[in-house]
Amino acid sequence: MSQASLRRGSHVVFSIQLHIVLITKYRRKVLTQPMIEAMKPVLERVLGANQSILSEFNGEPDHVHLLVDLHPDNNISSLVSSLKSASSRILRQEFKAEIDKVYWGKAKLWHDSKCIVSCGGAPLEVVKQYIQEQSGGRVEKIGAIAPSLSIPTL
């Protein structure tokens, strides 16, 4: 992991990358390209308010993909709920006629489920080996274990 990809906060150094997939209710193909484009600033605003960053975003008619650089102060489930709520509210306002053709009444735009996958950084096996081979304070082992893993200082 490069030092450039690490973010810093008060008493914390972190790099938490999440791939989040949101699917439409009943997997209906309701999302158009203008809707997907209108969602991006809404998602960026919600994430920004939570000290997180939208690194990548795109979608298809029945789902969207987000790559989020997450701040560790966040509850992931609550943050995803906020993203769904805000994007649904804005899309229903701006694209009411189009959405009403697919969903009736106050039906939800997003399905209750979500896919959240951690990504980025060193492969798990490298991290496991690094942890298993910690020196336990023995100076002779420091640096010989995993010279490619640079541990940041706080």
Secondary structure class of 34 (helix, strand, coil): helix
Confidence band for 138, pLDDT divided at 50, 70 and 90? low
The reply to whether 89 and 137 lie within a common domain is no
Considering only CA atoms, give the Rg of the chain.
20
Domain range for 73: 3-121
The reply to whether 86 and 141 lie within a common domain is no
The reply to whether 43 and 26 lie within a common domain is yes
Indicate the DSSP class of residue 120. Answer: -
The reply to whether 29 and 73 lie within a common domain is yes
H helices of the chain, in order, are 33-49, 76-94, 96-100, 124-132
Q: What tokens were used for 5?
A: 């990809």
Count of the separate structural domains present in the chain: 2
What CATH code is carried by the domain that includes residue 59? Answer: 3.30.70.1290
Per-residue pLDDT of 89-117, as tens digits, reads 999 999 999 999 999 887 799 999 999 99
Report the 10 Å Cβ neighbour count for 22: 24
Reply yes or no on whether the pLDDT at 149 is more than 90. Answer: no
The reply to whether 54 and 126 lie within a common domain is no
- The pLDDT value recorded for residue 4 is 54
The reply to whether 33 and 10 lie within a common domain is yes
- The pLDDT value recorded for residue 140 is 53
Report the 10 Å Cβ neighbour count for 71: 17
Judged on CB neighbours under 10 Å (0-12, 13-18, 19+), 19 is middle
The reply to whether 30 and 17 lie within a common domain is yes
Reply yes or no on whether the pLDDT at 43 is more than 60. Answer: yes
